Amino acid sequence: MLQPRSSDDQFHVSQHDDAAATMTAKRAYAGALTALLGAGGTHEVHLPDRFVAQTGGPGELWLKWTYPAPFVRDVQEYHVSCWNGEDLVYWDRCVAAGAGKAGPCFGNVVEYKVHGLHPDAWYVCHLNVVEAGEKQRHRSAGIARAKTRASFHREAEANAAIGNEVIERNNASIQNRAIPETSTPASLEPVRQRVLKTVRCSPEESLKTLIMVTEVMSSNGGTLEDEDGDNSDWIEVRFLGNQQQNMFICLNGWSLIDDTLEGVLASTPAEEPWEFPDNPIPFPASGRIVLFASGKDRRDANKELHTNFALRAEGEPLTLFFQGEAMQSITLPPVPRDRTFGVVEQQVVADEPSAHHSSVLSQWSVLQAPTPGERNSGPEKATGPAIVEVTERINDFQIGEDLIVKATVEVDGEEKDSLRAVMLYQIGFGEMKELEMDSVGDHTPARAHAVRLLNQAFYVGKIPSSAFQPGNMVRWSVTVYDSQGGQTKRPAFQGKDRPQKYGTAIENPSTPSKLPHMEWFVEDVERVETRNGTRCSLMFLGRFYDNIFCRTRGVSSATWPKKKYKFKLHENSFIYREGERGVSDVNLDSMYDELGEESYMRFVLASAFFEEVGVPVPVTFHVRVSQNNAFQGLYALAEQIDETFLERNSLDPAGSLYKALGTESNLRPGIHESHLVYHYKKMTEQSRKYDWSDLAELTEALSNEDVETFLFDHVNLPQVINEMSAQTAVLNQDRCTKNYFLLRDSRTEEWMRLPWDLDGAFGIGSGYGGVEPRDGYCVLTCEQFNSPLFCDRNHPQDVALLYSDFEGSNPQAQERTIDGNLSQTGGPILQWRDSYNHLTDALLRVPRTREMYMRRLRSIMDNVVNTTFLVDKVQYFADLINHDAKLDNKKWGTGDLTVGVKQLLEEQIPLRRETLFQQYGPDGNGLIPGKQSKGLSIALQSLNTHNTEGFDLQTYLEFKNPNPEALDISKWKISGGVSFVFAAGTVIPSWDSIFVSPDVLQFRQRGSEPHGGQSRFVVGPLNGKLSQGQQIQLEDPLGRVVLAFTT
């Protein structure tokens, strides 16, 4: 906390330059000072150069600001405000009468007497300057309006010269707290926060501040989420002084490291501790803040703090330093998941730095429950009886029978007669009921008789069948007590976000649905219809998931009556399909507003198509959903793209994974690295350990005219070309600016694009029979959306509904800018011609990659589109969902499945096939080539085998396409002494080569040709050691040998 100081002490005020902020924002000029009011006297505090504060009589403060005259010639009035903590205790204004005139608040000298303050209290005072002509703007927003960028830079420099801060922020509506509405502006609070942010603490200030670590969670499974939604480990730090409301405490000079002092000194190179911010940190009244030990390294004093290290669940040392001196050393033991190791709460509150050394290990313990930011819960009590097993799932019972819950407890000979087991059960969200559990022998009370076998006692509790009905949720927990006051509960409390009970749902056997049934139970049915969400429970595939988080998802779908939903579990425990690994996120797509007649299947059909052609795509399938025992609707369950998805598809879980967030996430250049967070989201904990430089480099590189070398060195061409081709085949019209993920493989440094939210696929811009055209979307009737070049700069995805004169690819409409800022993310306003995907555009600008794409598209057309695959899938899904689609239409008015299926089978699929083959094929404009010729040859052009110098990773095989057309070698394989399977989407351009290497990154780092920077097409990894004398052959997908050779 800022402490009293002598008149010689200086405050350090840093300058804040927001030159990169948007020019639609507002600005304020503010000087800040902090002074201690005494009971009279002449205690004087100085800020740099021209700020003076002097105490007058009790409760009085004299303030004086001096500005260069040119800076204030347009000033109309000054506003003075003083704050104590979070409360505004003084506000006044005075009108400026002109530069150079004498007196308070005139010209470039502002002198002001603040009175009515409390003696011996700290205040932060501000001077706000209102420019002439902007009085009303200031009165409504509290800050003056921004000028041009050129004048902004000039005035920023002028402000820096006098120690002020230039503040530029969005004109947001901010709640007015302690300021009377009739006399004060509502936005002084953000000004105060920004000024406090610029005050820099001195080391002397921090030395007077005593802190200590008081609680640590090294295995966070769901107790506390950080701002990114991650369950990062955390460290609680407590201020050891008199707690006050809304303290700002100086901690610069203090640091933390997950090592001992000796370990730090011995490390080579030296380990870098995490340093607390230089600015004062706001502490709540509890005197405790929480640092997330996430490895994300965030040090903004006014936001969440994240260390540059993560904690190990198996235990490790933790040391708190002040200017290199170890002030507190802790040895963290292994602690169970979602439990904490912390200081016993009655520990001394210190007044001297030496008090840190009083934190001996005997005062630490595994705590009863986590209490981040609050008083510790005390040491863990002695354990009760050891529960070996409790019934967690009940699936094999008959309607009309009681639900039987069993518990097995370890006992010894003396305690067997003193135990009692109690079950609490609840039907739905009704009253919790208590039931004494019986022994399995004669059903006498367990506390009187315990059946003993191999030091175990068995207990049984029966939930009567009269208590529940089909469709009900039944939950229970078991607690076993001993005679010493010990007790053990199952499920054990592991955090507020973890399961609180075991449970099941009573299935209704009369339901004729053919679909997997997701039974959803939620108490707050209104809050679940918002992004804020609430807690709920699920039953799916015979497994019960208690106390999970559920909310709506999607942007445009937020206005639909039938919404999309997301369920977030505490760990990777949700099994969406037998045999698959558990996941933590579940997505439900409502399939409510399809482009065309409602078929309830476009999303699922597109996913099946992508899987068929070899594109990594989330598992997606139909489910019947009920909510609180009432039919909710027919939905599509979609797998989340996360680490589990990446591992399932043999992709790199350690790579950088980004999600495109909105209509401006089209990989366009010109977005500063610090602003990318508004357009993309990092989706894995590993991704968040990296900065944004890789994505920034990608967006800038794609805009270069000479982009070919970058594409061949930094893009996974087979994957991206295959994904592009599949998107075109299914005519997904909502893919250019969002609905995709980006993955940068850390092993190859190559980018790939993964499809997401495919409900825009198989669209058609009219109802069945060509009636009821959908305004603005000319899908399957205009060149803009139908073209294989969709998403390049000449075929953008613009929001045509804004234009009444929209005519497909209308250049005039595309060139218009949005009338007003319709941006959802606060970034620069787009022009329509920039609503295309810059990666797609780059691939189509380069002749080699364009040829590869067109060949792969034609292969997909011949092998899938021109077969019965889609028709068979439509008929299969129609039969599968028929019953539930009728109920969905009855509840939501979604649409008639029969009509939607007819449109797909009679109009959309045939018309798309005709468009691709005839309009864009050889018989049309020739964009898409003809079917790949039979009997095309391929040759071994060169090879580099293992040598005695050991450069095994720089060996390679080079295959040449000696034909005048591109050659699709998807799923071809190399066998013999080495092995490799060419990924779907691998196409060799005409007269071109492909290199197969054990390590593509090492190949590009070769010192001699071939190497990176030469636009070489390289794939890998080639398995095995490539040596001389090996028999190697190349086979096509049918197993036919295409090429055989000896190295």
- 183 vs 575, residue with greater confidence: 575
- 680-682 and 656-660 beta bridge pairing: antiparallel
pLDDT at residue 468, as a whole number = 94
What value does the mean pLDDT take over residues 556-585?
90
Confidence of residue 13 (pLDDT cuts 50, 70, 90): very low
Cβ neighbors of 73 (< 8 A, separation 6 or more) are 99
Judge if 290 and 420 occupy the same domain. Answer: no
Closest by CA to 689, choosing from 319, 19, 232, is 232
Q: Are residues 308 and 319 in the same domain?
A: yes
pLDDT of 530 reads 92
Residue 297 has pLDDT above 50, yes or no: yes
- Whether residues 349 and 213 share a domain: the answer is yes
Average pLDDT score over residue span 968-994 = 97
Q: What is the pLDDT of residue 678?
A: 85
Residue 336: how many other CB atoms lie within 10 Å: 13
- 443 lies in which domain range? 386-505
Answer whether residue 76 shows pLDDT above 90.
no
Q: What angle do CA 703, 707, 709 make, to 5 degrees?
A: 150
Query: Do 224 and 298 reside in the same domain of the chain?
Result: yes
Written as six digits, the tokens of 135 are 């009085």
636 near 593, Cβ under 8 Å? no
Looking at residue 334, what is its pLDDT?
A: 80
Q: Are residues 359 and 436 in the same domain?
A: no
Question: Is pLDDT above 80 for 68?
Answer: no
- Structure confidence by residue, pLDDT tens digits, 984-1005: 999 999 999 999 999 999 999 9
Listed range (21-25, 251-255, 775-779, 865-869) with the worst mean pLDDT: 21-25
Domain boundary (505, 529, 559) is at: 505
Could you tell me which residues are beta bridge partners of residue 539? 519, 544
Domain assignment present for 299: yes
For residue 186, pLDDT over 50 is answered with no
| Residues 972, 1014 within the same domain | yes
Residues 275 and 333 in one domain: yes
pLDDT category of residue 656 using cuts at 50, 70 and 90: very high
Confidence of residue 450 (pLDDT cuts 50, 70, 90): very low
Looking at the domain assignment, is residue 188 inside a domain? yes
Q: Each residue of 77-119: pLDDT tens digit?
A: 666 666 555 455 566 666 654 434 344 455 556 666 666 665 5
Q: Which of 968, 961, 911, 910 is nearest to 938 (CA)?
A: 961
* Predicted pLDDT of residue 20: 25
Question: What's the rounded Cα separation, in Å, for the pair 243 and 283?
Answer: 9
User: In the structure encoding, which two tokens stand for residue 32, read together?
Assistant: 């800040």
Is the pLDDT at 1012 greater than 90? The verdict is yes
Q: Which of 128-142, 334-348, 387-401, 514-528 has the lowest mean pLDDT?
A: 128-142
- Looking at per-residue pLDDT, the higher value among 24 and 821 belongs to 821
Residue 251 backbone phi and psi in degrees, to 5: -130, 15
Choosing from 488, 505, 522, the residue where a domain stops is 505
- Looking at residue 433, which CATH number applies to its domain? 2.60.40.10
What whole-number percentage of the chain has pLDDT above 90? 46
User: For 594-645, how does the pLDDT look when each residue is reduced to its tens digit (9 = 90+)?
Assistant: 888 999 999 999 999 999 999 999 999 999 999 999 999 999 999 999 999 9
Instruction: Name the more confident of 664 and 786.
Output: 786
- Looking at the 3D structure of the chain, how many domains does it have? 4
β-sheet bridge partners, residue 427: 474
CATH number of the domain within which 1024 lies: 2.60.40.1260
Residue 680 domain-assigned (yes or no)? no
Q: Point out which residues pair with 438 in neighbouring strands.
A: 445, 460
**Residue 814 pLDDT more than 50?**
no
pLDDT of residue 528: 94
The residue among 767 and 111 whose pLDDT is bigger is: 767
User: What is the SS3 assignment for 151?
Assistant: helix
982 within a domain of the structure (yes/no): yes
Locate 286 and state its tokens: 């509890």
- pLDDT on residue 556: 74
184-198, 401-415, 917-931, range with the lowest pLDDT: 184-198
CB–CB of 659/737 below 8 Å? no
Amino acid at position 885, single letter: A
- For 67, the 3-state DSSP assignment is coil
Instruction: Say whether both 98 and 223 belong to one domain.
Output: no
For residue 415, the model assigns a pLDDT of 63
Q: Mean pLDDT over all residues of the chain? A: 76
* Three-state secondary-structure class, residue 651: coil
Residue 116 included in any domain: yes
Q: What pLDDT is recorded for position 124? A: 61
- Per-residue confidence (pLDDT) for residue 785, from 0 to 100: 86
437 with 405, same domain? yes
Which range among 257-261, 368-372, 660-664, 998-1002 has the greatest average pLDDT?
998-1002
- 182 and 38 together in one domain: yes
C-alpha distances (whole Å) from 958 to each of 632, 911, 962, 988, 1030 are 57, 41, 12, 11, 15
Q: Which phi and psi angles does 829 have, rounded to 5°?
A: -75, 135
Question: Are residues 349 and 406 part of one domain?
Answer: no
At 381 the pLDDT is: 65
Report the share of the chain in percent with pLDDT over 70.
Answer: 70
870 within a domain of the structure (yes/no): no
> Residue 435: its pLDDT value, please?
94
* Ramachandran assignment for 771, one of left (phi > 0), alpha (psi -120 to 50 degrees), beta (any other): beta
Q: List, edge to edge, every strand of the sheet that includes 680-682.
A: 680-682, 656-660, 740-745, 750-755
- HSE, side-chain direction, 13 A CA sphere, residue 716: 27
- Mean pLDDT over residues 921-927, rounded? 95
User: What Rg value do the Cα atoms of the chain yield, rounded?
Assistant: 34
Residue 404 included in any domain: yes
Residue 1011 lies in a domain: yes
Instruction: Say whether pLDDT at 5 is over 90.
Output: no
pLDDT attached to residue 444: 35
Q: What is the pLDDT of residues 1018-1029, one digit of tens each?
A: 999 999 999 899
Q: What is the pLDDT of residues 208-251, one digit of tens each?
A: 557 889 999 998 988 899 988 888 999 999 987 665 555 778 88
Q: pTM of the full predicted structure? A: 0.66
Query: Quick one: average pLDDT of 448-457?
Result: 51
pLDDT in tens, 836-895: 999 999 999 999 999 999 999 999 999 999 999 999 999 999 999 999 999 999 999 999
The pLDDT value recorded for residue 520 is 97
Is there a contact between 475 and 391 (Cβ–Cβ < 8 Å)?
no
Residues 549, 555: contact at Cβ < 8 Å? no
Boundary residue ending a domain (505, 524, 558): 505
Distance of CA 328 to the CA centre of its chain: 34
Tokens of 509: 């056997």
- Residue 90 CA to residue 82 CA, distance in Å, equals 5
Residues 414 and 485 in one domain: yes
Tokens of 491: 């499920």
Query: What's the average model confidence in pLDDT over 159-175?
Result: 25
